[in-house]
Amino acid sequence: MAQLIVMPKLSDTMEEGAVANWLKKEGEVIDEGQDLVEIETDKATMAFASSAEGVVLKILLEPKKTAPLGAPLCVIGKKGESFNLDELMAKAQGGKAAKPQETKPAVAPAKIPAPVAVLSKPTPVAVVQLQQPANGRLKASPLAKKMAADRGIDLSGVAGSGPSGRVVAKDLESLGSSVHPMAARAVRTGEDRVIPNSMMRKTIAKRLLAGKNEAPHFYLTVSADMTRMNEWRSRLNKEAEKSGVKVSVNDLVIMAVSRALHKHPEINSSWQGESILEYGNVHVAMAVALPTGLVTPVIRNTDQLSVKEIAFMSRDLATKAKDGRLSNEDYSGGTFTISNLGMFGIEEFTAIINPPQAAILAVGATISTPAVDAKGQVVAQPRMKMTLSCDHRVIDGAMGAQFLQTLVSYLEDPLNML
């Protein structure tokens, strides 16, 4: 008997999906549990396995098309079997009458309105006649050259009234200040592009808009001396040259943050309306930039992991994110997020809280900075700035400051984490 395959819910926040690629074509045989289609969700593109076996009788949603949860994707049945789509839809909806499918018209690019007539008389712009000297040399007086440079006028497009066509000061004075600097210059024109938003980009926009509008943000910035942490990282990576995973600065930050969250559980929390939820476990999410948007895979029970375990898991999750292989479990359940742009040379920035979390840490690059050491001498230190964005409904200024004090102490002396 023919069976209708509908749009599945592949993530906890998914409301609609798009077909990225059909792995089976109409008329092809498929087994139960075999990958049928790749679906683009708000988080990643994932393969969806068939819940039926037989032949793909009809594909109902073309690639790159978006549909809500429960929308029909395809029909699977016996070869040559006839079916009634309305009956299959009614059965899939629990016996309810199937509603006819409406095709939404494609959104056309916004039209540029016609220019509105101007009532006042516009200021006339001088017309510059282009001419090329016969011998290839431009003739102009020194004063005319200076005036042209000050006004941004291309002298090659000015007709001179001096001897042998030489440009003199009065030729520029007659042009006045109404000559646009680009009037005598050829301008290359480009074309606007309309880029459709991916499922991920639309979800990012929706969640961050809600996060920024609903959570009253405030920001705290500190700077940490990374001298000892860098020395420790060098020792760890020398040991890892023969075997093991190398440790990045971000791995060390994740480790220090997880330990600081364990000590300050009030930061590892979220606003619940009538209450504040203080999470019992520390699950740190790390922001990973993709061409289609931003994902935040989660390292679970981070405060219980060694730095080498964190390094291994962070690389595995980053690779899976870039390959589009993240599962729902990989990016759900985070209790705190770290966004690091230091590898791009960004020294300092603020980040938007990832709801329902109460805070996010923005990490900048480590920069050699003049600082006063314990002996009162000015020295160059490798310092890293970090900005904590806090939900003021959950976190007060003093609470955030104490958390950052602990974090800085861990980064400046890794032994404090033991």
- Domain shared by 218 and 172, yes or no: no
The enclosing domain of 149 has a CATH number of: 4.10.320.10
- Domain shared by 301 and 345, yes or no: yes
| Active-site residue, 392 included | yes
Residue 77, amino acid: G
Q: Are 334 and 296 in contact (CB under 8 A)?
A: yes
Cα 281 to Cα 255: distance, rounded to the nearest angstrom:
14
Q: Are 202 and 378 in contact (CB under 8 A)?
A: no
**Of 154, 262, 392, 413, catalytic:** 392
Q: Are 298 and 333 in contact (CB under 8 A)?
A: yes
Strand partners, 390: 218, 359
pLDDT tens-digit profile, the chain (418 residues):
889 999 998 877 788 899 989 999 999 999 999 999 999 887 778 889 998 999 999 999 999 888 999 899 999 999 888 888 888 888 877 654 444 444 344 344 444 444 444 444 444 444 334 344 445 567 788 777 877 777 777 777 777 777 777 888 777 776 655 445 555 556 677 889 888 888 778 888 888 888 888 999 999 999 999 999 999 999 999 988 776 789 999 999 999 999 999 999 999 999 999 999 999 999 999 999 888 778 899 999 999 999 999 999 999 999 998 888 888 889 889 999 999 999 999 999 999 999 999 999 999 999 999 998 888 899 999 999 999 999 999 999 999 999 999 999 999 999 999 8
Domain annotation covers residue 204: no
**Of 31, 35, 86, 396, catalytic:** 396
The residues, ordered by sequence, that sit 6+ positions from 181 with a Cβ below 8 Å of its Cβ are: 151, 152, 153
The enclosing domain of 46 has a CATH number of: 2.40.50.100
Q: Are 300 and 281 in contact (CB under 8 A)?
A: yes
Domain annotation covers residue 108: no
DSSP 234-257: HHHHHHTTTSSPPPPHHHHHHHHH
Give me the long-range contacts of 311-317 (CB less than 8 A, separation at least 24).
311/245, 311/246, 311/247, 311/248, 311/251, 312/245, 314/248, 314/250, 314/251, 314/254, 314/286, 315/245, 317/286, 317/288
Domain annotation covers residue 334: yes
- Domain shared by 216 and 177, yes or no: no
The enclosing domain of 263 has a CATH number of: 3.30.559.10
Q: Note down the domain range covering 67.
A: 3-92
Cα 296 to Cα 331: distance, rounded to the nearest angstrom:
6
Residue 304 to residues 256, 299, 417, Cα–Cα distance (Å): 11, 11, 12
| Active-site residue, 413 included | no
- Domain shared by 230 and 369, yes or no: yes
